[in-house]
Amino acid sequence: MTPKERLLAAFRRQPTDHVPCNLYGIRWIRQHDRCTCPRHQLAWAERFGLDLVIPYGWYTWQSVTNDYIYVPGGGQAFSADGCYGDLPDVAVNLRARQEREGVRYERTFETPAGVLHDVILWPRPGTGYGDGPNPHRIEPLIKTPADAEALQFLYPAPREDVLADIAPTLQAMGERALLAASDAVGPGSWGMESLGPELMLTASVDNPGLLRAVCRTAHDAHRRNLAAMLERGLPAVYDSWFQCGPSVGWSPATYETIFLPLVRECVELAHQHGAIYIYQDDGRMRALLPQIVAAGADVIAGLQPPPVGDVNLKEARATYGSSVAFMGGLDPCYTFDRGTPAVVQTAVCETLEAAGPAPGFVLCTAEAVDPATPVECLNVYVTAARRYGR
C-alpha cells in the first residue's frame, strides 16, 4: 500500500498491510529545514519513511486566510495585498516597537461597527518561550459584548493564491502523503485569541454571551475557509481543538453547550464534501471521547497518555474502536524530547499493544516533537513501528 492508501484505509477502519506510522514534526522541520511548506514536509516524511498527514493552510507556513487576530505583523501569511491590505473596510493603525523580549505591537482598528484596540508582545525564540513562541496579549482586542460585532471585519477572504496551489500540490503529492485541509482561525485554535487567555476563561462564567459571540464569529470564518479548501478537492479535514479542551480549564458544561455544537458543524461540512474529519487535541481529552464520537468525527487524534494527558488507549479502543478511528497515543515530551532510542522503541511497542490488532489505528505523537529530538530517535520510531505494527 502507498502511504496515502494506508492512511485512508486506517481512517475508514479498514485493514492495512501494517499500522500507518505518522509523526507530528512541524517544530522539527521548522528548525532544521527552515520551512514547513508541504514540499518540505513531504521530503521529511520520505527521509524517515513516514505515512504523513500534511496539513494544508496551517498557520506555520501559509494560512489560507490572513489571521490578523493571532499574527499582528502579518507573519507567514500576508500576501500581495500587503499587510492588512485585504481589509478594505477597516482603517488600521499599527505601531511596532523592537524590545529586548520581542516585538511589541499596538493596534487600532476602525471598523464599520466600532473601534477596536489591543497590545501584543511577540516573544523572540530562545528567550524562555520555546522554539516557536505564541503571542503574549497585554491588552485584549475584545473587551465587551459591544466589541464583538466589529470582530467580523477583521477576517479577510481566503487567499486565492493559496487556494490555487491545492490542485498542483495534490498532483505533486500523489500517493506519497495525505493532504488535509487545516485552518487556525477557528475557536479550537486561535479564534478566542482576541479575548486573551484570562478573559476567555472568565467570560465563560460571567459573560457567556461574549464568549459565544467571539466563537461564532471566528467559527464562521473557519468554516468558510475549510469549505473553500474542500471545494478544491482535499480529501480530509485536520481540525485542531486544543483551545477548547479540558487542559485549558473549561468546564464540561462550557464544552457541551458552546464548543461541541461548533464541532458538529465542522463534521457535517466535511461529510457534505465526502471528506474525512479528523478531530485533534494535544491535551487531556478522555472525558470528551464519547461526545466527539457522537458528533460524528471519523478520526480522533492526539490521545496524549499520562502524565501529560489522560487517555488510556486500550480502554478507548475497546470502547469506541467500532465507531471511530484513532491517531496518536505517543507522548512527545518524555518519549522523544527527553527520551532515548530505547525509550522510543519501548513506547512504540507498548502503544501498538494497547491499540490492539483491529483496524482503525494510526501511530503518531499527540503533538510535535522537539527540534532537539535526535535523528536516532526518529529512525528507531519508524523501524519499531514497521517491525511491530504488522
Answer yes or no: is pLDDT of 132 > 70: yes
Answer yes or no: is pLDDT of 191 > 80: yes
Going 28 to 33 to 36 to 40, the CA torsion angle's sign is negative
Average pLDDT over residues 43-67: 92
User: Can you tell me the distance from the alpha carbon of 175 to that of 33, in angstroms, rounded to the nearest whole number?
Assistant: 23
Question: Is residue 59 in a domain?
Answer: yes
pLDDT at 354: 97
Question: Contact 11/298 with Cβ under 8 angstroms?
Answer: yes
Answer yes or no: is pLDDT of 128 > 80: no
Average pLDDT over residues 52-62: 89
Range of the domain at 189: 3-65+157-388
Place of cell 499493544: 353
Q: How many CB atoms lie within 10 A of CB 220?
A: 17
Question: Is residue 163 in a domain?
Answer: yes
Average pLDDT over residues 158-183: 96
Answer yes or no: is pLDDT of 76 > 70: no
Q: How many CB atoms lie within 10 A of CB 20?
A: 28
Residues 6+ apart with CB under 8 A from 274: 235
Answer yes or no: is pLDDT of 130 > 80: no
Average pLDDT over residues 163-178: 96
Answer yes or no: is pLDDT of 304 > 90: yes
| pLDDT tens per residue across span 309-348 | 999 999 999 999 999 999 999 999 999 999 999 999 999 9
pLDDT at 131: 77
Question: Is residue 181 in a domain?
Answer: yes
User: Can you tell me the distance from the alpha carbon of 154 to that of 171, in angstroms, rounded to the nearest whole number?
Assistant: 33
Residue 207, domain CATH: 3.20.20.210
Compute the residue count for the chain. Answer: 390
Question: Is residue 312 in a domain?
Answer: yes
Average pLDDT over residues 294-301: 98
Buried b (16+ CB within 10 A) or exposed e, 89-119: ebeeeeeeeeeeebbbbbbebebeeeebebb
| pLDDT tens per residue across span 350-373 | 999 999 999 999 999 999 999 999
pLDDT at 75: 67
Answer yes or no: is pLDDT of 243 > 70: yes
Q: What percent of the chain has pLDDT over 90?
A: 88
Question: Is residue 350 in a domain?
Answer: yes
The number of folded domains in the chain is 1
Question: Is residue 228 in a domain?
Answer: yes
pLDDT at 356: 96
Computed over every residue of the chain, the mean pLDDT equals 94
Q: Which of 321, 264, 314 is nearest to 294 (CA)?
A: 264
Answer yes or no: is pLDDT of 74 > 80: no
User: Can you tell me the distance from the alpha carbon of 97 to that of 114, in angstroms, rounded to the nearest whole number?
Assistant: 25
In degrees, rounded to 5, the angle at the alpha carbon of residue 84 between the alpha carbons of residues 142 and 128 is 65
Answer yes or no: is pLDDT of 267 > 70: yes
Answer yes or no: is pLDDT of 129 > 80: no
Q: pTM value?
A: 0.96
pLDDT at 363: 98
342 sits in which H/E element: helix 341-355
Question: Is residue 290 in a domain?
Answer: yes
Question: Is residue 219 in a domain?
Answer: yes
| pLDDT tens per residue across span 192-215 | 999 999 999 999 999 999 999 999
